[in-house]
Amino acid sequence: MSQALIAAGLEPKQMIERLDGFMAKIEQLANLIELDMTFAQADHIALRINDSELAAQAHQAWLAYGNTISEAQINGRPIIVLHFNKPLKSRGWSIECLELPYPAEGKLYPSQDWEHVEFVIPSHAETADEYLADLKGTYPQFGNNWDSLADKGVKVKLSSPKGEGERLNNPTVAFKHQGICIKVHPHALKKIVESESRP
């Protein structure tokens, strides 16, 4: 067991102990943006680590809880996706995968910990703008609340991240507030990883 991971509070058992507290903050953010996540699939949870060596040790430690299904290069750094043997359960959600990005050069996160949860809200949208329009239509309260998000201190980012070889567009809308982030997209991460292996 890595003493460095334990000292940094990043050993999987330590992280799992903090999961309910983190998911409570995710719930608060969902309420703030008025996006009902009750029935959304909590697709995966991401953690942030600032040191490449610690990230490698965390990857090894999490292998006791699942298996690596992807090691894609995205924006010039490896992003590990691990599928849990048993989903992590918290506050009514069941989380299937862990996303562990290696640190990007020159970027330091304010804390090394859980950073965001990505939820699947299905849609046929191909672009982030189309997806956002879908969300506003599906969740009228969220649509009505949209113009006031900036006043509430919520930062919104639209993106369409794609790893090498991925065949499926997965437009993403991210909401960030006080260091907590919710991302929503139309397709599950497992489905995206499977699309990489298609000819």
* pTM for this entry: 0.88
The half-sphere exposure of 196 on its side-chain side, counting CA atoms within 13 A, is: 13
Give the C-alpha separation, 30 to 28, whole Å. 5
pLDDT in tens, 105-129: 877 887 899 999 999 999 988 889 9
Decide if 156 contacts 174 (C-beta within 8 A).
Answer: yes
196, pLDDT greater than 80:
no
150 band by pLDDT with thresholds 50, 70 and 90: very high
Task: State the pLDDT confidence band at 11, using cuts at 50, 70 and 90.
Answer: very high
User: For residue 34, what is the DSSP state?
Assistant: T
Neighbour tally for 42: CB within 10 Å: 23
Q: 76, 25 in Cβ contact below 8 A?
A: no
Please check whether residue 70 is in contact with residue 163, taking contact to mean a CB–CB distance below 8 angstroms.
yes
Whether pLDDT at 16 is above 60: yes
Whether 179 and 76 have beta carbons less than 8 Å apart is answered as no
First to last CA, the chain: 40
Higher pLDDT, 156 or 189: 156
* CA angle in degrees (0–180, nearest 5) for 101-39-180: 40
DSSP bridge pairs for 16: none
For tokens 């750094």, the residue is: 77
pLDDT at 163: 53
Task: Name the 3-class secondary structure at 140.
Answer: helix
Q: Rounded to whole angstroms, how far apart are CA atoms 65 and 51?
A: 22
Does the structure show a pLDDT above 80 at 193?
no
Rounded to an integer, what distance in angstroms lies between the CA atom of residue 189 and that of residue 183? 12
41-62: per-residue pLDDT in tens? 898 999 999 999 999 999 999 9
